[in-house]
Structure 1
Amino acid sequence: MNQPAAGFELDTDNASNTATLRLYGGWVDAASVPEFRDVRAQLTALTVDNLRFDCDELGDWTTLLMSFLLSCASYCEERGVDVDTEGLPENARRLLSIATSVPAHQRQQPAPRPWWHVRSPSEALRELLDDLRVSLAFFGDICIALGALIAGKANTRFADFRTFCYQSGPDAFAIISLTSVLVGMILGYLGAVQLQQFGAGIYVADLVTIGLLREMGPLMTAIVMAGRTGAAYAAQLGTMQASEEIDAVRTLGVSPIEFLVIPRILALVVTMPLLTIYANLLGIVGGGIVAGGMGISLLQYSSQAGAAVSIAHIGIGLLKSLVFAVLIAIAGCRSGMQSGRNSAGVGRAATEAVVTALVYLIVADASINILFQHLGI
């Protein structure tokens, strides 16, 4: 049966300081239902103490009416206007009573700390322990997902792994090439200044080769990848968190760690050693450019560099690259998975991923160096 379009009329009784909101028509079509801002504009222009409803001409209604009534009740509560719901249909009156029986939750914002406030050692320690607990829990989830992958039961797609390998590998050639050549030249210049004083300029090749293979090659590659790939992982997963895509994955019964995190970690683990080898070669070339400026021939430089190369130096560098790859991927994925659900949260996640990865890299690099120093390798 056709019903008149939904609408309202607002009448006032100055004697009793009461406003009557007459509702009529069918409140079932979202396209024709009036919006509350139209009523609010009229109520704002009035000075009344009471608001009552007249629904004698109201037709069929749905939750569109309830949303309208709830907005009216909230507005009147803010303005200190009493609401009389006796004129509403019984079902609508009950629903409105339930909706307004509990006040809306107001999230309390922590009081801003004064600029002179300094965190106590116990507070800093508690935050550190909480962060460590969350990190260990995330690492444990990754280990479980890797176990499921080895058992052939993980929801990990090879297509995703291949895509991330390309993103973290060939796409990074340009920036890795530039930084590697420049780092090799810097090492060459630093060594040349000192070695020429003793007439040992030829050993620039040893300095550049060993320094790149053991230390600067893996570390500089890791730093570049932390700022490039680690932040990208955090931004990708943070955006998915903000758009509730990760929640959708969980709803489908799929582990986000298996589906989203594991392919990214494996891709970086595969590509980092290859990028490190590539960076080492270009760094040695950069050192050769400096050596050529010192009067050392290409044959002398290549012969001395070849003599400095050893399996131990190469192995230590590749081991560092594997450890760095895992740390960068974990830092980026963890920040993205725990990102806030807005654009600001995604930005903070990307920043946190880079900072956390850099801290991890420095601690891991120092620990590995100390370990092999004690082992005499």
Structure 2
Amino acid sequence: MKTGLVQPAELAIDQLSDGTVRIRFSGAWRNDNQIPSQDEVDSQMPAGRMAKIGFDSSAMTGWDSGFLVFLIDLKQRFSGSQIEIDLSGLPDGVSSILAIASAVPERTDTSGESPHDSFLVRVGKDTAAFFQTVMEMLAFIGAAVLALARMVAGKARFRKVDFVQLLRECGADALPIVSMISLLVGLILAFVGAIQLQMFGAQIYVANLVGVAMVRVLGAVMTGIIITGRTGASFAAQLGTMQVNEELDALETLGISPMDFLVLPRMLALMVMMPLLCLYADLMGVLGGLIVGVSMLDISLVEYYVQTKGAIGLTNLWIGLFHSVVFGVLVALSGCLRGIQCGRSASAVGEATTSAVVTGIVSIVVATALITVICNIIGI
């Protein structure tokens, strides 16, 4: 099939008597053709005073994004002057596309920091951002407490079917991963302890070591970390996507509080299911220690059971359950907070999910340290 030759892209500049400079375009202004540079515009611009720049595109045979880029660069070159730019002589559709492109300016700094800031300036900005984050977290915790108070008073509004679904997602669906991790933690703890205790002929105390460690702290901590990576991240992604889709704004427009409708059922679900998952994790951890004790240390099932029963008391059990309830609240608040704080883009959802996991794990570690110190002070 025979095709015609593509006309080269050319421009010519005329100066009219009223101080208007007219740029005439001809040929095909496309990316696959050689488009004139801004230097050619400068070389043909008249030396006198200009009041207005107009365009004539009657001789153009085609255009694409390359022509748009040329016009955007041309507008930016004269943006700081008092010269008026008249777009009426451009092809149909070009003016509207340029208006859309200039409606939202390009973000040149997405980090909030200038690379030329001094060390003290960066420290000051990070410190201010830290205290701002702390204030936002305290405000969110206060709003969650008020939502819980409204629920106690019978004024909170959320769907019961959503709460039941969240119970299943937070509880039953998490059993496989909790089983595997807790069993492996019990195995590792018993194996490491056995190596040391065998040196003194005290391998029977592996049952004490595994039982107390799992029931008092490790069972709750491992469950909390698992739920943070699994459920806390899910909460952040769900609420972040709702923020991007403006569903949270729609709820507020309808007079429904997102704290009551979205955050409260998630917090309650984790408060209910975390102690149950913690008990299950304790059982699986003790089972892992039992496997090591029976297979490596020649301890009978009865001996291991009796030793574990004597080592584990109700005090350790209640401390572990208290850990789990606190961790459930922290994981729910971390995930929901980062989800509601999410920006309006797809990348912001990923950032919110990552931030929720980091915040949840750090909160669990800090809470564990505080509870341990408090228990030590009061002597339990």
- TM-score, normalised on structure 1? 0.75
Deviations 1:80-119 (A, max 9, x none): 58456999xxxxxxxx9xx9xx997676634533699476
**Paired position in structure 1 for 2:268:** 266
**Paired position in structure 2 for 1:322:** 325
- Asked if 1:369 is matched to 2:367, the reply is no
Paired residues in the alignment total 322
- Asked if 1:136 is matched to 2:138, the reply is yes
**Paired position in structure 2 for 1:210:** 212
**Paired position in structure 1 for 2:62:** none
Letter paired with 2:329: V
**Paired position in structure 1 for 2:203:** 201
- Asked if 1:300 is matched to 2:297, the reply is no
- Asked if 1:350 is matched to 2:353, the reply is yes
Write the mapping of 1:1-377 to structure 2, written as runs, cut at 5 A: 16=16, 18=22, 49-51=53-55, 77-78=75-76, 82=84, 109=109, 110=112, 112-113=114-115, 117=119, 122-292=124-294, 293-377=296-380
Contact persistence 2:206–2:293 (CA under 8 A): yes
Q: Report the Cα offset of residue 168 of structure 1.
A: 0.9
Q: Report the Cα offset of residue 358 of structure 1.
A: 1.0
Work out the CA distance in 1 between the residues paired with 2:184 and 2:263.
Answer: 33
Contact persistence 1:76–1:82 (CA under 8 A): no
Work out the CA distance in 1 between the residues paired with 2:175 and 2:106.
Answer: 50
Q: Name the SS of the counterpart of 1:295 in structure 2.
A: coil
Q: Name the SS of the counterpart of 1:49 in structure 2.
A: strand
Work out the CA distance in 2 between the residues paired with 1:164 and 1:185.
Answer: 31
Moved more, 122-131 or 74-83: 74-83
Work out the CA distance in 2 between the residues paired with 1:84 and 1:191.
Answer: 82
Deviations 1:186-238 (A, max 9, x none): 11112111211111111111111001000110000101111111111111111
Work out the CA distance in 2 between the residues paired with 1:307 and 1:192.
Answer: 19
Work out the CA distance in 2 between the residues paired with 1:205 and 1:103.
Answer: 69
**For the aligned residues, what is the CA RMSD?**
3.7
Work out the CA distance in 2 between the residues paired with 1:270 and 1:104.
Answer: 47
Letter paired with 1:143: V
Cα–Cα, structure 1 residues 211 and 86, in superposed 2: closer, same or farther, change >3 Å? Answer: closer
Work out the CA distance in 2 between the residues paired with 1:86 and 1:211.
Answer: 78
Work out the CA distance in 1 between the residues paired with 2:261 and 2:240.
Answer: 15
Cα–Cα, structure 1 residues 254 and 199, in superposed 2: closer, same or farther, change >3 Å? Answer: same
Cα–Cα, structure 1 residues 86 and 193, in superposed 2: closer, same or farther, change >3 Å? Answer: closer
Q: Report the Cα offset of residue 370 of structure 1.
A: 0.6
Q: Report the Cα offset of residue 131 of structure 1.
A: 1.3
Structure 2 alignment gaps of length 5 or more = 1-11, 31-35, 42-51, 57-70, 90-95
Letter paired with 1:49: I
Work out the CA distance in 2 between the residues paired with 1:50 and 1:373.
Answer: 81
Work out the CA distance in 1 between the residues paired with 2:286 and 2:229.
Answer: 24
Letter paired with 2:276: L
- TM-score, normalised on structure 2? 0.74
Contact persistence 1:192–1:204 (CA under 8 A): yes
Letter paired with 2:259: I
Letter paired with 2:166: F
Letter paired with 2:374: L
Q: Name the SS of the counterpart of 2:344 in structure 1.
A: coil
Contact persistence 2:186–2:210 (CA under 8 A): yes
Q: Report the Cα offset of residue 145 of structure 1.
A: 1.1
Q: Name the SS of the counterpart of 1:191 in structure 2.
A: helix
Work out the CA distance in 1 between the residues paired with 2:13 and 2:221.
Answer: 79
Q: Name the SS of the counterpart of 2:263 in structure 1.
A: helix
